[in-house]
Structure 1
Amino acid sequence: MLKPSNLRFRKSSYSGPKTENCIEIAETPDMSAIRDSRNPQLGYLLFGGVEWRSFIDVVKRQQF
């Protein structure tokens, strides 16, 4: 697993300070990592490129 110190997590520009349900994302050339912005100490999940693109497509179509 990648070391958290090697990842640069960011929140969406759509996330405001009053938004409680946010995730943060860090991208590498091969993978994407996501974590809970309220509990970053709990770790993160890694997704390969194909899996990440599939996830984003489903979210954009609101099929979750």
Structure 2
Amino acid sequence: MSETNPPTTTWRKSSHSGGGGGQCVEVAALTSAVGIRDSKNPAFGHLTVRAEDFHTLITRIKHGELDHP
């Protein structure tokens, strides 16, 4: 899925990211999907996923389903 980055796009990063310069991603509500990008390299572009798939990803993360053993 591909979607351009509208000029009014607001990218957000988790408040849990802190200011330590760690590995963070930013997300944005796009016209018909969710954008995900590297906060350190926003010029590299972003991934675009359906909102339903993003919700599933967040739910699985919150339930620890994607934790490394």
User: Which structure shows the bigger proportion of residues in strand conformation?
Assistant: 1
Superposition pairs of residues 13-28 of structure 1, within 5 angstroms: 13-28=15-30
Matched length: 64
Please tell me whether Structure 1 or Structure 2 has the larger radius of gyration of its CA atoms: 2
Same amino acid, percent of matched pairs: 31
Q: 5+ unaligned residues in a row in structure 1: which ranges?
A: none
Q: 5+ unaligned residues in a row in structure 2: which ranges?
A: none
Q: TM-score, normalised by structure 2?
A: 0.78
Runs (4+) of structure 1 moved beyond 4 Å?
A: none
Q: TM-score, normalised by structure 1?
A: 0.83
Q: Corresponding residue for 1:51?
A: 53
